[in-house]
Amino acid sequence: MLTIQDIFKSFKHPLTKEREDLINKAYEFATFAHQGQQRKSGDDYIQHSLATAKILAKMGMRSKTITAALLHDVPEDTFVTLKEIEDKFGKEIATMVDGITKLGKIKLRGSQKEYFIENLRKMFLAMAADIRVVIIKLADRLTNMKTLQYLPPEKQQRIANETMIVFVPIANRLGIGEIKGQLEDLSFRYLDPENYIKVKDLIAEEYKGMEKYINLAIRDLKKELENNGIKVIDIYGRSKHIYRLFLKLKRHDMNLSAIYDLMAVRIIVPEISDCYETLGIVHKKYRPMVGRIKDYVSLPKPNGYQSIHTTIFGPEGKILEVQIRTQKMNDEAEFGIAAHWIYGEKEHKRLKKYFTRKKKRIIKELKWVKQLHEWQNEIGSDDEEFLEGLRIDFFKNHIFAFTPKGDIIDLPEESTTVDFAYSIHSDIGNRINGARINGKIVPINYQIKNGDVVEIMFSKEKRKPNRDWLKFVKTSVAKSHIKRELKK
């Protein structure tokens, strides 16, 4: 059972008296309001509020967000009104709580596509108003997913499906990798239990031997780095999220030995320059695998992800993936946009400025949020107008397309099926030999339209991309992969 002390323990900021009082007050108020209510698990309702708050505290969110999280189900589920919350906690917190309540009123209807756009629309609205609302909503969803076993099967399916379609893409867009990974794994468990168990069984044996090996590798790597004067802030093994592993296994005929990053060693160092120095030291000691060095530090992924990945023949000659990054990159990879709250007032101010002022390159990866915000300011909240605005302004430079399974892939406009293939995986890009759009076969230079369901056909054997593709692909990911592959 969680207590409010667990929240304080997870809190990443100096806990002033004022902050502590605010959080305590919210806790007491919520406990009182939810009194007598129980979750389906049999727990007191406040356990759900505490669990949500704890996730946020661990992400580095600040006291007002934690306060709103503790109160998030109060107006929805109790006799207490929003007005009372505003009187007690002020307008800012009440507005956040209201936003969460409104987001909770999402109902499933229409086709998957309509459903997705409808939900996205609500999320975007809330996000543009206050991004903290969406972050709380994600934490709320995660705690609900963790207790899904207590709900009837029908509800489990609906909620897991909604999580995959709506919340996973949003966590991804906000760069909150840690929540995204957990949401995917939990949904996967309910949506495709057969494969979930299959993957779990497949790795159970593998992991046993691996853990020992990882510990050995960590010890050797650490010693080597420290002997070379690198300050290692942290070094640990990380295992791949189950759902991501499943997707990868599917591309390799469920052959586990083709997966090199089942477990990886992650090295956290102080500065960017240390990342490259570390890479050099690691490669000097252990031979790197050709074509497996990925420098996402100088070339971040579209969602802002930064890290250096390399695959080496580690201790005992075994293949091992090593990931090198700074603490800040690590926090940003796990907590995404929320990491900006960790990096103190200065960063917070920077973010605020970023949301309110037109500036060219402040946080490049969050450009779309800014766009959204600007456009939200320009148009009213009228529904018709909203949809029109969504189409014209936001979707202008973005296409949302679907995999046959309903995963959402977003691409710049005029992207082709080849771009789509590369955005799923470089291997699929290289092997593409055809595509179906909404069930119909199209040429691979077909330009994808919003809402298209794209099915990529690819050959089983390794193939090289075609030079001509460079003439029509739009994304830099596709371009760089094609060029790199052709050089080989």
Kindly list the residues in this chain that would bind Mn ion in the complex (CB under 5 A): 73, 140
Which one, 45 or 472, has the nearer CB to Mn ion? 45
Residue pointed to by tokens 């371009």: 479
Among residues 437, 430, 369, which one has the least CA distance to residue 402? Answer: 437
Which one, 71 or 199, has the nearer CB to Mn ion? 71
Which one, 140 or 455, has the nearer CB to Mn ion? 140
CA distances from 200 to 206, 209, 220, 256 (A): 10, 15, 29, 12
∠ at Cα 249 (255, 187), nearest 5°? 145
> Taking CB positions, which residue lies at the least distance from Mn ion?
140
Is 77 one of the catalytic residues? yes
Return the structure tokens found at 122. 């609500």
Do residues 396 and 448 make contact, with C-beta atoms less than 8 angstroms apart? Answer: no
Do residues 262 and 202 make contact, with C-beta atoms less than 8 angstroms apart? Answer: no
Give min distance, CB of 140 to Mn ion, in A: 4
Instruction: Please pick, among 6, 20, 76, 295, the residue that the annotation labels catalytic.
Output: 76
Sorted by sequence, the CB contacts under 8 Å of residue 15 that are 6+ apart come out as 8
Which one, 73 or 98, has the nearer CB to Mn ion? 73
Give min distance, CB of 146 to Mn ion, in A: 12
Sorted by sequence, the CB contacts under 8 Å of residue 22 that are 6+ apart come out as 63, 64, 67, 89
Give min distance, CB of 51 to Mn ion, in A: 9
Give min distance, CB of 454 to Mn ion, in A: 34
Partners of 411 in beta bridges: 399
Sorted by sequence, the CB contacts under 8 Å of residue 284 that are 6+ apart come out as none
Which one, 100 or 210, has the nearer CB to Mn ion? 100
Give min distance, CB of 89 to Mn ion, in A: 17
Which one, 38 or 459, has the nearer CB to Mn ion? 38
Backbone angles phi, psi at 374, to 5 degrees: -60, -45
Partners of 311 in beta bridges: 321
Q: Which amino acid is at 98?
A: D
CA distance 359 to 368: 13
Instruction: Please pick, among 6, 43, 44, 77, the residue that the annotation labels catalytic.
Output: 77
Among residues 429, 436, 425, which one has the least CA distance to residue 469? Answer: 429
Which one, 140 or 365, has the nearer CB to Mn ion? 140
Return the structure tokens found at 69. 């999280």
Give min distance, CB of 72 to Mn ion, in A: 6
Among residues 123, 115, 131, 99, which one has the least CA distance to residue 386? Answer: 123
Give min distance, CB of 45 to Mn ion, in A: 9
Catalytic site residues? 76-77
